[in-house]
Structure 1
Amino acid sequence: MPLAIAITGPGGPEAMKAVDLPATEPGPGQARIRQSISGVNFVDIYVRSGLYPLPPGQSVLGFEGAGVVEALGPGGGELKVGDRVAYIGHPLGSYAEVRTLSTSRLVKLPDGVSERVAGSTMLRGLTAHMVLQKVYPLKAGEWVLVHAGAGGLGQLVTRLAKRIGANVISTVGSEAKAGFAYEAGADIVLLHTSEDWVEETRRIADRRGVHLAVDGIGGTMLSQTFAAVRPFGMVASLGQAAGPIPPIEIEELTAPRAIALSRPSVLTYANDPELYRQGTAALMEHLQDGLINPIGAEYELKDAARAHADLEAGRTTASVVLMM
């Protein structure tokens, strides 16, 4: 019987258990796919730990994956058995060898885009598209600050921002990770552990600060980041890998800063059919055009708990995946 990784309640990596998951026949508008890869993301950790509630009736983790269609229900649209597909979004369930889900969620992979690349890029790629096109439509010549620039999301945001023609300042937690951020295209890499990274960011960005700051670190980093943004700029808060974000007073955003704060959700973005279509189509074009999304660590499906522990502890760079 196909293998899956499930939880019955919130907890640490030890809460994740391998279970047998019977393959189900696809109903109307559904497809069953044999998966080859699943992405591992911080949002999975948020669900596992209880920060985000586990949806009723669901226990298998994971929001993105890729594989091959092996069965179709009535009304499957243009898909056919044997098509290579990828997806991101609700419902959970990508930590599984086989799963059945709506065909409206599936994106047919074009020639030249592998399941391995697509299945490790969908969530972060759509997040980067959301931030750079919807949250703050970035323009050539503008300045972007990308925290955790060596991570999977940080690298993708950097690469896409450079394709637009923007200038990128990345921050990393150690000198050892700086090379990954530079390889992704960052113009300048700073240590966010240094005392003067905010002042240095403002100095580099025309002595005014960046137009857009992308923060997936959370904790106290978000409030520090406000001071690195120029008036009428934007801060996008995408996660809290470093822990809960302390309450923010509206006065922190007002004059003389006069900046905006956004807390966008890629899962909400993916639930909008038109935004999902636009975002995934753009992502596929970038991947066909050579957009690189390196995989920093891969694990067998049965080792998903170790993948969570390594990602949570900051022992990984770039994307983290489970292979089936």
Structure 2
Amino acid sequence: MKTVTLNHVSDDLSGLQVVDAPEPEPGPGMLRVRMTKAAVHPSDLNYIRGEYREAIERLIWNLGEERPSFDVERSKLHPQLPCIPGGEGVGVVDACGADVNSTQWLGKRVALFAGPPSGTWQEYVIAAPAQLSPVPEALPDEQAALMMLNPLTALIATRHVLGVEEGQWLLMSAGASAVSKLAAAIGRHYGFRTISLVRGEKMPDQFPEQLGDVVINTESQDLREEVKRVTGGRGVEFALDCVGGSVAEQMIASLTDGGRMLLYGTLAGPSMQLFSRDLMMTNATVGGFYLPGWLAAQTPAKLGEVMGELGRLSASGMFNVSIAAQFPLADAVAAVRASQQSGRSGKILLDFD
């Protein structure tokens, strides 16, 4: 089978290579998924560039450790190289190991949540049942390949971490990003109001129906003045930031008394600016959100609740996103380069057919 292997970290993608590998066989309790499509996400670049390793090496439990871990119990070590990237995709279960209900799974089309060392950028993926979610029949592969990571991030961040309620305001950086557009859709469904921050004069005209209730162009409008105007001078109860840098500072300064901001990305780099008294004087808080860590900390009942909600909303078409381009697996490097282009109108997929 063909796989995309990361041999060394780099900014120029020189560590990525498409290679041949033996088809894997599922062990006890595991299944094999024949992939049809896989997503290319910014989080994949964090592995390719070595940014996740640099980030977790700073964590206190990793000080002095040869191999850093994502969690304090050291149950999820950073993958060693070479490894296979790819956080999610869609495929068909074509083999089951011992102790797996083959009647339940064999031949089923499933969305897959994975990641290095054995991610979705390969023709066959070995996975546990907990990593899979059956795909609604009406959902095409292009949307099913994107059904997990971004929708889960938007849903969990807004509904289960921040707990944004009907009528409240949510301010979002990178308003044209997939997560922000999904959060705006969730807001329309549940009745909370959203403000999308975008850059560039043409951005709001490309997909106005997918953005928030209010769009602020940070290149031509004053962020805080606009937030003050649309919220009647109160500021926003919640903010969701994947950028950092100076944008994060302005978002913190837009929070109302007791407001909360959640960080889930670092598009502007690993650091953010912060005026401490913007938090102190408003009793506001800033927290972090890392999807795999959140999922690992939940009970089976809570995960079932979240996945059930995800399935219902996905089946309604709420999470459908634009697809900018699809690339064959052999052109994976070109696909990753395309995903880095600013101003894209949609997501990039790898196509295995």
TM-score (norm 2): 0.85
Cα offsets for 1:178-200 (capped at 9, x unmatched): 13452215221111234611221
- Worse-matched range after superposition: 202-211 or 305-314: 305-314
Q: Match of 2:345, as an amino acid? A: T
Q: Give the SS at the match of 2:105.
A: coil
Is the contact between residue 88 and residue 270 of structure 1 (CA under 8 Å) also seen in structure 2?
no
1:82 equivalent in structure 2: 107
Q: Percent identity?
A: 26
Q: Give the SS at the match of 1:220.
A: helix
Q: Size of the alignment, in residue pairs?
A: 322
1:49 equivalent in structure 2: 49
- Judged with a 3 Å threshold, the aligned counterparts in structure 2 of structure 1 residues 180 and 122 are, in CA distance, closer, same or farther, namely farther
Select 1:133's aligned residue among 140, 156, 159: 159
Is the contact between residue 249 and residue 275 of structure 2 (CA under 8 Å) also seen in structure 1?
no
State the distance in 1 between where 2:303 and 2:207 align.
28
Any gaps of 5 or more consecutive residues in structure 1?
A: none
Residues 60-71 of structure 1 correspond to what in structure 2 (within 5 A)?
A: 60-71=84-95
State the distance in 2 between where 1:273 and 1:31 align.
22
- Judged with a 3 Å threshold, the aligned counterparts in structure 2 of structure 1 residues 83 and 207 are, in CA distance, closer, same or farther, namely same
- Judged with a 3 Å threshold, the aligned counterparts in structure 2 of structure 1 residues 15 and 192 are, in CA distance, closer, same or farther, namely farther
1:319, distance to aligned residue in structure 2 (A): 2.7
State the distance in 1 between where 2:201 and 2:6 align.
36
Q: Structure 1 stretches (4+) deviating beyond 3 angstroms?
A: 89-92, 246-252
Cα offsets for 1:248-270 (capped at 9, x unmatched): 57544211x22111111111123
Q: Give the SS at the match of 2:9.
A: coil
- Judged with a 3 Å threshold, the aligned counterparts in structure 2 of structure 1 residues 111 and 76 are, in CA distance, closer, same or farther, namely same
Select 1:239's aligned residue among 240, 248, 265: 265
- Judged with a 3 Å threshold, the aligned counterparts in structure 2 of structure 1 residues 219 and 93 are, in CA distance, closer, same or farther, namely same
Task: Output the aligned Cα RMSD.
Answer: 2.0
State the distance in 2 between where 1:79 and 1:126 align.
24
1:304 equivalent in structure 2: 332
Is the contact between residue 69 and residue 81 of structure 1 (CA under 8 Å) also seen in structure 2?
yes
State the distance in 1 between where 2:90 and 2:299 align.
19
2:34 equivalent in structure 1: 34
Is the contact between residue 170 and residue 186 of structure 1 (CA under 8 Å) also seen in structure 2?
yes
1:279 equivalent in structure 2: 306
Q: Give the SS at the match of 1:33.
A: strand
1:247, distance to aligned residue in structure 2 (A): 6.3
Q: Give the SS at the match of 2:144.
A: helix
TM-score (norm 1): 0.92
1:28, distance to aligned residue in structure 2 (A): 0.9
State the distance in 2 between where 1:307 and 1:175 align.
27
Residues 219-258 of structure 1 correspond to what in structure 2 (within 5 A)?
A: 219-246=245-272, 248=274, 251-255=277-281, 257-258=282-283
Whether 2:292 is the aligned partner of 1:267: answer yes
Whether 2:108 is the aligned partner of 1:109: answer no
Is the contact between residue 232 and residue 259 of structure 1 (CA under 8 Å) also seen in structure 2?
yes
- Judged with a 3 Å threshold, the aligned counterparts in structure 2 of structure 1 residues 58 and 76 are, in CA distance, closer, same or farther, namely farther
Q: Give the SS at the match of 1:233.
A: strand
Q: Give the SS at the match of 2:35.
A: strand
Cα offsets for 1:118-165 (capped at 9, x unmatched): 211310000011111222111111111121121211111111111111
Q: Give the SS at the match of 1:178.
A: helix
State the distance in 2 between where 1:96 and 1:273 align.
30
- Worse-matched range after superposition: 151-160 or 272-281: 272-281
1:241, distance to aligned residue in structure 2 (A): 1.2
- Worse-matched range after superposition: 296-305 or 170-179: 296-305
Is the contact between residue 293 and residue 319 of structure 1 (CA under 8 Å) also seen in structure 2?
no
1:246, distance to aligned residue in structure 2 (A): 3.5
1:21 equivalent in structure 2: 21
1:205, distance to aligned residue in structure 2 (A): 1.6
Is the contact between residue 34 and residue 70 of structure 1 (CA under 8 Å) also seen in structure 2?
yes
- Worse-matched range after superposition: 218-227 or 51-60: 51-60
Q: Give the SS at the match of 2:202.
A: helix
